[in-house]
């Protein structure tokens, strides 16, 4: 799928991770499992770069794996070598900026008057979005294609 950039000091703080470096591979695999994502992928860590390989059932699952890894403190890049069994058009990846709201992001990506589609963005981003009123600058969110 390629190389994805993240902000190293934004995201979930997990044991062993710091602004200087990502948590170790075993801890990141546990993070995947905690979100109900397959932990049978190979995760390699080199400083702030995480490489993930293996197989994902869908494009959505692959994107969620990438975001679960990348939205942790200490991860600056995720290189995805995931093979996808059921590939569909990818989502847009959007980095949250100061002052953003999910409504505003939805209108930007889906069109004026479609802010209520923020619920689609929330559904596509668990993790990291648990409360739609609390999004953090630096998070990278999946913006799924409009159906």
Residues 18 and 69 in one domain: yes
Same domain, 98 and 26: no
Shared-domain flag, residues 34 and 82: yes
Give residue 64's pLDDT band: very low, low, confident or very high (50, 70, 90). Answer: very high
pTM: 0.81
- What is the radius of gyration, based on Cα positions, of the chain? 15
DSSP 8-state symbol, 10: S
DSSP state letters, 105-129: HHHHHH-TT-GGGHHHHHHH-TTT-
Q: Are residues 64 and 112 in the same domain?
A: no
Cβ count within 10 A of residue 57: 11
Is the pLDDT at 63 greater than 80, yes or no? yes
Question: Under a CB-based contact definition with an 8 Å cutoff, are residues 90 and 139 in contact?
Answer: no
pLDDT tier at 132, thresholds 50, 70, 90:
confident
- Both 136 and 104 in one domain: the answer is yes
The CB-side HSE value for 14 (13 A sphere, CA atoms) comes to: 25
The predicted structure's pLDDT at residue 49:
94
Q: What mean pLDDT comes out for the span 108-130?
A: 89
The alpha carbon of residue 10 and the mean position of all alpha carbons in its chain are separated, in whole angstroms, by 12
User: What's the domain count of the chain?
Assistant: 2
Residue 28: which domain range? 2-86
Which pLDDT score is estimated for 65?
92
Same domain, 59 and 96: no
> CATH no. for residue 128?
3.10.350.10
From its phi and psi, is residue 25 left (phi > 0), alpha (psi between -120 and 50) or beta? alpha
């Amino acid at each position: 799928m390629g190389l994805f950039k993240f902000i190293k000091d934004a995201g979930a703080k997990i044991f062993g991770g710091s602004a200087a470096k990502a948590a170790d591979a075993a801890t990141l695999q546990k993070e995947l499992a905690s979100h109900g994502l397959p932990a049978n992928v190979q995760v390699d860590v080199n400083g702030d770069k995480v490489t993930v390989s293996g197989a994902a059932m869908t494009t959505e699952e692959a994107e969620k794996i990438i975001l679960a890894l990348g939205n942790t403190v200490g991860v600056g890049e995720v290189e995805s070598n995931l093979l996808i069994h059921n590939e569909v058009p990818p989502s847009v990846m959007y980095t949250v900026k100061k002052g953003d709201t999910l409504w505003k992001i939805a209108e930007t990506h889906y069109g004026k008057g479609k802010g209520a589609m923020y619920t689609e963005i929330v559904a596509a981003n668990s993790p990291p979005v648990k409360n739609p009123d609390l999004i953090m600058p630096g998070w990278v969110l999946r913006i799924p294609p409009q159906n």
